[in-house]
Amino acid sequence: MMSRRDSAEGQPQAEQDEQNEQDEQNELSWTAGPLDSVSVTAATSLALQSARSKSSLSEKSTENEQKYDNVSSHVWSDADYDSMLETIEKVESAGEIPNNRPSWANKTEYLLAQVGFSVGLSTVWRFPYLCFHNGGGSFLIIYVFLMFLVGVPLLLLEMAAGQRMRQGSIGVWKIVSPWLGGVGVLMTWSLFYLTQSLQSPLPWALCPLLENSSQFDPECVRTIPTVYFWYRHVLNASDKVEIGGLPVTHLSVCLFVTWLITCISMIKGLKSSGKMLYVSVFLPYIIFFFLLIRSLMLKGAGFGLKHILSAKVSALYSLQVWRRTGNQLFLSLGSGFGSFTAISSYIPRSNNCVVDAFIVALFNLLTSVTAVVFVFAIMGHYATKNFEKCYFKNAEEVRNLVVAGVLPPEASFPESLYQDISATYSAWVSSLPEDIRNVLLTYLTNCSLNEELKEVMEGPGVALVAFTDIVSVFKRPAFWAIIIFVFLVTLGLSTLMGIVQGIITPLQDSFSSLRKHTKLLTVSICAFMFLSSLVFVGPSGSYYVNLLDDYWASVPLFCVLIMENIAIVWIYGARRFLADIIIIFGRPIPPIYRWLWCYASPFVLVVLFLSTLIHLYLNPISYIAWNSSISNEVDQSYPSWMKILLIVLIVVTILPIPAYFLYTLYTVYFSASKTHSRTTVTFEPEAKGDILGSRPRLHSRQGLKKMSKIDKKLGGNLPAM
């Protein structure tokens, strides 16, 4: 077999020089062009090509492989880095030819897009509830540990892949993902609350009156107005998931407006979405800061905050707690949805994505912890109020017992103690004679502050109820309600924009004709998502959202993350990928990332994936439903047909991965066999100057001369890691 240099030796010198100059220009243009996304199938294709080409490697290539092995064995040394960077700079600067791919206007818009996607309603929606029911401070400890052990490395992996390869993810199947509809519904609920905030008094401040009556609705009287309004007016929830119905009108309208706003924000691509991000990211943080300060000033807030600090040691050893924490981490952070890769593909390759990964992770962590502090402070306040109501109810009961003659007059509750009943009630009961106290306790309710907190923290909608409750402490509740729900709407908008961007980018990268019709593509995706989300705004729609959130989303997500990790780190090569990051911003990163990518991340992901499957297999799936007869939340088991639906959703979401893998495997095998039958094929290793700039390729003998001059400049070829 002839190498590239051998194929050019028979030409006249002048003709060869002219041809080489033309070939160099073509090659540099090819080097600067966008590269394919890294996927399992693509990496497998490379492996197949490499395997078929081994028999035709030239002696020159073998020498270069040995030379490269010596370099790669010392990949962490400063001298090798300097040598690699010197060569990289020459090739990158020579090949930096602009292409037609759009880019963010500035680094700020890019970071806002990444943070806005990562920090969404799911961060505020589920995190406080899970924290309370999974060990409090222990949950936070596990979350922070997993964040830096697995979350940040995988985040960097996705950002670096999109940034270097200038392509979105291959996960086009996410278009039909039910999770996207569920995310849109969270914003829909917030939008409906925003519309209801435009009236005074606020509709959730008091129980409504019965029609043609002066009596309050007994269903509301048995609970608190905010909870009643949530289940009865916002969700119009049925008592069971089996009781369905047509989509609720007001939620359907809000859902349409949600996707309309998302569509308008992205209709002009990065130009419109980039400017919208200044509002949808900065505004929520400003509002959230003032809400946090106000919540900490409430009576009883300190009691709620104690539960954050009181970590349960037993939770640290619970596999279920680790599983729930891992689920929340990846659903909240957003890894695996393809959006980080898509957003990063529009930033220059020289961008420092390591710092960006830490910025996004820290913002996500900061927002999660802030949401916990806010919700726990609010719920601690309302637990304290309910606790005092329990004491007042007991004091009133004592008065009635004295009037009825059941208790002597000396058992009466003193009027002077009403001013600070929570501090004086227990001391008063203890001061009563033992015989009177024993009789008294049989008539009184046992008041417990811990039980009151547990009761108000029930249900995944606790965060939204907390936001509706806090407005009562402000002087102008209607105004502050508008501010609060503008905060929630804008928070959800930035997440939806990131998700839609994660769909548009891989579609346009896979089908170049769609790049000319960005507006039509954006409208089509948003219209499709609106129609597919209508199932979540019916009377039992919130129970479907819980099914996706609690049971469905984590299984496909872990599967995607595992395959993504294996494809880039093990098939593509962790050492090779690290060399890419050197190309990205011109200096090495700590070698610990290689260890995290190769061992820690796959191990944690596999454990979480298997534990989730085991949990689904061994335990019945259940949801929290509203029981209108007792005005309380109750645990219900999903019917058997819902379990079948869950399995179908999981299979449908994961199926495209092996299907596309088999399709590409067949295509590569068929095309390679056909090519081999027509011409002699030789496998040429990569150029040293761009270790990941291009992948190993099959070259026919007629095309071997095209890389000769670049080979002479770079001084040889180096194979992939």
Q: What is the mean pLDDT of residues 290-302?
A: 88
The predicted pLDDT at position 460 comes to 62
Q: What is the pLDDT of residue 168?
A: 58
Q: Kindly report, residue by residue over 356-389, the tens digit of the pLDDT.
A: 999 999 999 999 999 889 888 988 888 888 888 8
Contact in structure between 168 and 509 (CB atoms under 8 Å): yes
Q: What is the Cα–Cα distance from 289 to 377, expressed in whole angstroms? A: 14
Question: pLDDT band at residue 398, thresholds of 50, 70 and 90?
Answer: confident
Is the C-alpha dihedral spanning 663, 685, 58, 712 positive or negative? positive
User: Quick one: pLDDT at residue 709?
Assistant: 40
The per-residue pLDDT for range 437-466, each reduced to its tens digit, is 888 888 888 888 888 888 777 766 677 777
Mapping DSSP onto H, E and C, the string for 250-297 reads HHHHHHHHHHHHHHHHHCCCHHHHHHHHHHHHHHHHHHHHHHHHHHHC
Mean pLDDT of 551-558: 85
Mean of the per-residue pLDDT values for the chain? 74
Percent of the residues in the chain that have a pLDDT greater than 70, as a whole number: 76
Q: 303 near 384, Cβ under 8 Å?
A: yes
Total residue length of the chain: 721
Burial of 562 (0-12, 13-18, 19+ CB in 10 A): middle
Evaluate whether 619 touches 453 at the Cβ level (below 8 Å). Answer: no
* Confidence (pLDDT) at 475: 78
Six token digits for residue 399: 């008065």
The count of other CB atoms within 10 Å of the CB of residue 564 is 27
pLDDT digits 0-9 by tens, 624-650: 888 888 888 888 889 988 888 888 888
The stretch 394-422 carries a mean pLDDT of: 79
pLDDT exceeds cutoff 60 at 429: yes
Query: Rounded CA gap, 708 and 386, in Å?
Result: 81
Query: Are 669 and 48 within 8 A, CB to CB?
Result: yes
Residues 463 and 398: beta-carbon distance below 8 Å: no
Label residue 154 exposed, middle or buried (CB < 10 Å: 0-12, 13-18, 19+): buried
* pLDDT score recorded for residue 567: 81
Question: Measuring CA to CA, how many Å separate 149 from each of 344, 504, 550?
Answer: 22, 30, 23
Percent pLDDT > 90 in the chain is 8
Judge residue 690's burial from the number of C-beta atoms within 10 Å of its C-beta, 0-12 exposed, 13-18 middle, 19 or more buried. buried
- Model confidence at 126, in pLDDT bands (50, 70, 90)? confident
- Tell me which H or E stretch contains 683: strand 681-684
Q: What pLDDT score was predicted for residue 105?
A: 81
Question: Which of 26, 340, 311 lies closest to 140, judged by CA?
Answer: 311
Which region among 131-145, 410-424, 432-446 has the lowest average model confidence (pLDDT)? 410-424
Helices (H), 73-136: 78-94, 107-118, 121-133
pLDDT higher than 60, residue 97: no
User: Residues 403-412: what's their mean pLDDT?
Assistant: 80
Where do we find the tokens 């209108």?
Answer: 628
For residue 551, the model assigns a pLDDT of: 84
201 vs 76 pLDDT, higher one:
201
* pLDDT tier for residue 570 given thresholds of 50, 70 and 90: confident
Going by pLDDT thresholds of 50, 70 and 90, the confidence category of residue 135 is confident
List, for residues 204-234, the tens digit of each pLDDT value.
888 888 887 778 888 888 888 888 888 888 8
Confidence band of 142 (pLDDT split at 50, 70, 90): very high
What's at 430, amino acid-wise? S
Whether the predicted pLDDT of 489 surpasses 90: no
What are the binding residues for Na(+)?
116, 119, 332, 364, 491
Contact 492, 467 (CB under 8 A): no
Q: Answer for the pair 46, 668: CB distance below 8 angstroms, yes or no.
A: no
Q: Is the pLDDT of residue 4 over 50?
A: no
Report, as an integer, the average pLDDT of 136-150.
91
Phi and psi at residue 411, to the nearest 5°: -85, 0
Between 42 and 626, the more confident residue is 626
Nearest to 226 by CA among 197, 248, 204: 204
Give me the residue label for tokens 């590409």: 664
Looking at the DSSP assignment, which residues form a beta bridge with residue 627? 632
Which residues does the annotation place in the binding site? 116, 119, 332, 364, 491
| pTM (two decimals) | 0.74
Residue owning tokens 């996705």: 158
> Which pLDDT tens digit goes with each residue over 343-353?
888 888 778 88
What's the topology of domain 113-386+458-667?
Answer: Amino acid/polyamine transporter I (1.20.1740)
Q: Please compute the mean of the pLDDT values over residues 100-121 and round it to a whole number.
A: 84
Report pLDDT for 129.
84
d(CA 477, CA 269): 38
pLDDT at residue 202, rounded to an integer:
86
What are residue 700's DSSP bridge partners?
681
Please state, in angstroms and rounded to a whole number, the distance separating the CA atoms of residues 45 and 662. 11
pLDDT computed for residue 125 by the predictor: 76
